[in-house]
Amino acid sequence: MPEVTFTLNGKATTATYETGETLLDVLRLGLGVTSAKNGCSQGYCGCCTVLVDERPALACQKDVNDVQGRSVTTLEGLPERARQVLASAFVAEGGVQCGFCTPGVAMRAYTLLRRGKAGDRESVARALDAHLCRCTGYRRIFDAVAAAGEAWETGALPDRPPRRPPRFADDRATSRGIGQRPGVGASAPRYRGEDLVLGTKPFVGDLRVPGMLHAAVVLSEHPRSRVASIDTEPALSRPGVVRVLTAADVPGERFVGLVVRDWPVFVAPGEETHCVGDVIALVVAETPTAARRAAAAVRVDGETLEPLTDPSIALEVGAPRVGPAGNLLESCTISRGDVDAALAASAHVVSARFTTQRIEHAFLEPEACLALPTTLTAGGENGVKVYSQGQGVHDEQAQIAAVLGVERGRVEVELVSNGGAFGGKEDLSIQGQTALAAWLLGRPVRCVLSREQSILLHPKRHPMVLDYTAGCDAEGRLTAVRARILGDSGAYASVGGKVLERAAGHSCGPYSVPAVDIEAKAVYTNNPPSGAMRGFGANQAAFAIEGVLDLLAERAGVDRYDIRERNVLRPGDRFATGQVMTASCGALAALQAVRDAYRSAAHTGIACGIKNTGIGNGLEDTGRVILRVLEGGALEVVTGFTEMGQGLFTILRQVVVHETGLDPAVIRVVARSEAAALSGMTTASRATALGSMAARRAAQALAADLRDHGPAELEGREYRGEYVCDFTVPPGARADNPVTHLTFGYAAQVVILDGDGRIEKVVAAHDVGRAVNPLSCVAQIEGAVHMGLGYALSEDLPCEKGRPRSLRLRDLGIIRASQVPEIEVILLEVPDEVGGYGSKGVGEIGLVPTAAAVASALAAFDGTRRTALPMRGTAAVTKRRGGRRVEAAAD
Ligand code: FES
């Protein structure tokens, strides 16, 4: 193999490489560098930023020969003081969430520190345009860079409150919780935050174990084709290839799925492919490069068929069948009152069609899995241990066990780190195939998807068509809503039926409507699968109902704020499903918190949001936590929920500290598929509400024992906490108060445009029930608003004949750092009766109203009502700091 010699972090280094490998490949595969991450290999995300001869460079774009004789510096090689300054600043300012992008960003920040530019927002924003962050919305990264710059100059670490402390609606001390004991209600520092910044907390793609093999997937080339044969010989004969797995190798269930088992881990000869993300084979080889090249040699023969891509056509009689029992995946209807009569008696009636687009989650960490064969039982039975980045260790465990055809206990799944998910890592991606490879070969196997494969494989946000007719009286009070919603669920069920169920439930937003007639259908097609994504159907419904409210306001001659205040849910009112709102309903409070902002400028838009917390709709919702006292009194917190940047592990540690008074330094948190921690999927903003309740119960039991014993005396003891919600009913259930959901979060957002119609500021008021960690809450909302602005203006994943037009990150329309407007978050706490400490969940609702608020602002600016997302080609692009405008949403 050829060799390259260069100076790495001050040391002369010689590394071997395979032809075509990049500097990033050599650093990560050959030299064990973990701070430089592989987010895209397309030169767009910035996660692999290093210094070459002291200048920032993207390692994925550097031919390894280019660094021969030169100096390469990674985050590991920075001076210790710079590392400390950067790590402390990012944690103190809330500039790190999932942490996958952060080492690359920190590397860039270091160059700004050295140039004395860290305090110059314009320079920082421009420099960060070379990076993608999908979690933070960038503004807390700007703060972190500025704080690091100050510390770099003064020599002191940034250990003060963040520059922009969380703000509460009632203007209580704005830095409440900062510097307190890191219990509930304090802005406690992120769990292992400094390790995330420095890249020393590994992700799955960073793990290496002795004897590890590497796997690469072979995906379908056609969205719909009948596979006749799969020829693996050309791959098997390539150097370094160990085995090629296909459908014939699956000993157990070949179909997996969270709700419907319709998704093959491998498509078998004789079957049809359903989308371009179908897995045909898995090539296992000694190196990733060998596996990837051999995967390209697998030959698939068959008949190419015309893909079914229109959900309306998919429902016609005689349409080719994509779903196992027909193309209608699920239909949800909700009916209350006499809608026809109510519309007939209404002073004003409007009808409109709204359309929303398919978008990609674009989490920065592509899917990855490491599986190891294990001997788990006393009887010597073998099993498999899976290191995952998925959203539910227990669901993964159950599905992998089914694929292997073994009982669940022989599979153990542990979360490593999760570099962002937003719903896109709920379904199995390559965990089943990778576990199977380790199981059959008796060797550790790791599979890491490329960015292109990641985009093809996981489900997207549903494109929907929403037809609304709604009426109001002369004062703008809603009388009735009729909605027909059609969602393209693509190739597999995933949780598509549940997303459309949620769209139906949230079809009237946070408004009281006396008569409703709602029908939502999820439909199979040969498009990429659609499934969970932050907001889970509520976003599409919010875009429609908020647009309808603006239209009615115009028709009735009522102000857009006033029409909302007249209709917004109050305690005692009914949600669309008929559920009666309790005293914890903070919808009105959220709306009133943005009233002044709405009235503060000539061109503003307003929208409200509601989002359920917890699964609800008749399904049991459980959170469980185990506290285990380890040697010397250290404490392990075991949960089944995933930390994916939302701050769950930080919160669980806060709860334990709050209840027990233990030092946070002795507490570690893990997500592992232990039966006693069974908690289900990390979805629906439920992890904090349910997990903190479960942790509280366990911690209170521990606290009782700590009254009489020191922690070390309790070594070996275990404390379990559980919270079960089993009182919800499905939508449409006949009950006086059909409680379809555990609880809800509420929001109101105002978008302020400048005189040229460009977004200047977003004000976001959110009732979170209880801000268990205020800084985390605010950071989550800022990141969500950034995502919501992209959804409104530019994000899209258009497909042609079932195939995404582009698999490049740069074509997804994600808003860059310099284009993010000012975002002001106002927290409200209307405590919830059931969520832990009153919490309601904040992860999803942050962007539920954003697109509608943008549409409302645009209509106020130019009088045109937009009913299709994204709102491209409009003037409503964001504004670059310092006055330079950037066409974020240009066609
Ligand atoms: Fe930036 Fe997650 S913290 S992508």
Our CA angle for 350, 353, 358, nearest 5°, is 150
Nearest to 850 by CA among 540, 391, 445, 469: 540
Q: Is residue 881 scored above 50 in pLDDT?
A: no
Q: Confirm or reject: Cβ of 46 under 6 Å from ligand 1.
A: no
Strand partners, 764: 749, 825
Confidence at residue 371, expressed as pLDDT on a 0 to 100 scale: 98
First-last CA distance in the chain? 46
- Residue with CA nearest ligand 1 atom 2: 98
The pLDDT of 252-258, averaged and rounded, is 97
Query: Which atom of ligand 1 is found nearest the CA of 365?
Result: 4
How far is ligand 1, taken at its centre, from the CA of residue 881, in Å? 22
Give the least confident one: 77-86, 118-127, 182-191, 879-888. 879-888
Q: Atom of ligand 1 at shortest distance to CA of 96?
A: 3
Residue written as token pair 């160990």 = 242
CB of 677 closer than 8 Å to CB of 624: yes
- In this prediction, residues 765-793 reach a mean pLDDT of 96
Query: Which ligand 1 atom is the nearest neighbour of the CA of 420?
Result: 2
pLDDT band for 170, please (50, 70, 90 cuts): confident
Specify the pairing of strand 635-639 against strand 667-671.
Answer: parallel
Q: How far is the CA of 469 from the centre of ligand 1 (A)?
A: 40
Task: Quote the mean pLDDT of the chain.
Answer: 94
> Ligand 1: does its nearest atom lie under 6 Å from the Cβ of 364?
yes
Pairing of strands 279-285, 382-388: unpaired
pLDDT top residue among 880 and 649: 649
404 pLDDT exceeds 80? Answer: yes
Q: What is the 3-state secondary structure (H, E, C) of 283-309?
A: EEECCHHHHHHHHCCCEEEEEECCCCC
Report the separation in Å between the CA atom of 102 and the middle of ligand 1, taken as the mean of its atom positions.
Answer: 6
pLDDT given at position 617:
86
With a CB cutoff of 8 Å and minimum separation 6, the contacts of 193 are 87, 90, 91, 96, 99, 650
d(CA 647, CA 810): 28
The per-residue b/e assignment along 595-629, b for 16 or more CB within 10 angstroms, e otherwise, is: bebbeebebbbbbbbbbbbbbbbbeebbbbbbbbb
Pair 773, 788: CB distance under 8 Å: no
Assess contact for 528 and 277: CB atoms under 8 A.
yes
**Per-residue pLDDT for 767 more than 90?**
yes
Ligand 1 atom closest to Cα of residue 134: 4
Measured in degrees and rounded to the nearest 5, phi and psi for residue 42 equal -115, 5
The DSSP secondary-structure symbol of 27 reads I
Residue 176: band (very low, low, confident or very high) from pLDDT cuts 50, 70, 90: low
Token pair recorded at residue 31 = 């030299």
Is pLDDT of 889 > 50? no
Question: Which ligand 1 atom is nearest residue 135's CA?
Answer: 2
Task: Tell me, in angstroms, the distance from the centre of ligand 1 to residue 388's CA.
Answer: 18
Question: Which ligand 1 atom sits closest to the C-alpha of 645?
Answer: 2
pTM for the model stands at 0.96
220 lines ligand 1 (CB under 6 A): no
Ligand 1 within 6 A of CB of 91: no
* Overall size of the chain counted in residues: 891
Q: Considering only CA atoms, give the Rg of the chain.
A: 26
**317: CB partners within 8 A, 6+ apart:** none
Is residue 163 predicted with pLDDT exceeding 70? Answer: yes
The answer to whether 766 and 828 have CB atoms below 8 angstroms apart is yes
Q: Are 519 and 331 in contact (CB under 8 A)?
A: yes
Share of the chain above pLDDT 90, in %: 88
Among left, alpha and beta (phi > 0; psi -120 to 50; other), residue 55 is beta
496 closest CA partner among 505, 504, 484, 487: 487
Query: Ligand 1 within 6 A of 104 CB?
Result: no
Segment 670-704, tens digit of pLDDT? 999 999 999 878 877 788 888 999 999 999 999 99
CA of 132 from ligand 1 middle (Å) equals 8
Q: Is 838 left (phi over 0), alpha (psi -120 to 50) or beta?
A: left
What are 712-758's pLDDT values in tens digits? Answer: 999 999 999 999 989 999 888 889 999 999 899 999 999 999 999 99
Please name the residues in contact with 522: beta carbons below 8 A apart, sequence gap of 6 or more.
328, 329, 330, 331, 462, 487, 489, 496, 497, 499, 500
Tokens of 284: 């296992």
pLDDT exceeds cutoff 50 at 149: yes
Measure Cα distances from 8 to 21, 110, 837 in Å: 17, 17, 49
Q: Look at residue 620 in the predicted model and tell me its pLDDT.
A: 87
**Confidence check: pLDDT of 180 > 70:** no
Q: For 338-352, what is each residue's pLDDT tens digit?
A: 999 999 999 999 999
d(CA 594, CA 749): 7
- Within 13 A of 258's CA, how many CA atoms are on the CB side? 30
In the sheet that 822-828 helps form, which strands lie side by side, from edge to edge? 604-613, 743-753, 759-767, 822-828
Half-sphere exposure for 120 (CA within 13 Å, toward CB): 12
**Nearest in space to 78 (alpha carbons), one of 116, 46, 49, 107:** 107
Cα four-point dihedral sign 547, 549, 550, 554: positive
pLDDT, residue 891, reads: 29
793 has pLDDT over 70? yes
- Can you tell me the distance from the alpha carbon of 864 to that of 877, in angstroms, rounded to the nearest whole number? 15
Residue type, 52: V
Structure tokens at 10: 């001050």
How far apart (Å, rounded) are the C-alpha atoms in residues 606 and 854? 8
- Our answer on whether the CB atom of 99 is closer than 6 Å to any ligand 1 atom is yes
Cβ–ligand 1 distance for 100 under 6 Å, the answer: yes
Take atom 4 of ligand 1 and give the residue whose Cα is closest: 133
pLDDT in tens, 103-128: 999 999 999 999 999 999 999 999 99
Contact 324, 260 (CB under 8 A): yes
Higher pLDDT, 418 or 173: 418
At 142, list the tokens.
């700007």
- CA dihedral sign, ordered 315, 320, 326, 329: negative
Q: Are 536 and 423 in contact (CB under 8 A)?
A: yes
Q: Are 256 and 436 in contact (CB under 8 A)?
A: no
The phi and psi torsions of 329 (rounded to 5 degrees) equal -75, -50
Q: 820 CA distance to ligand 1 centroid (A)?
A: 15
Let me know: does 527 contact 309? Beta carbons within 8 Å.
Answer: yes
Over range 817-829, report the average pLDDT.
96
pLDDT band at 172 (very low <50, low <70, confident <90, very high): low
Give the whole-angstrom CA distance, residue 533 versus residue 519: 21
The finding on whether 134 has its CB within 6 A of some atom of ligand 1 is yes
Q: Which residue has the tokens 């660094």?
A: 67
CA distance 656 to 131: 36
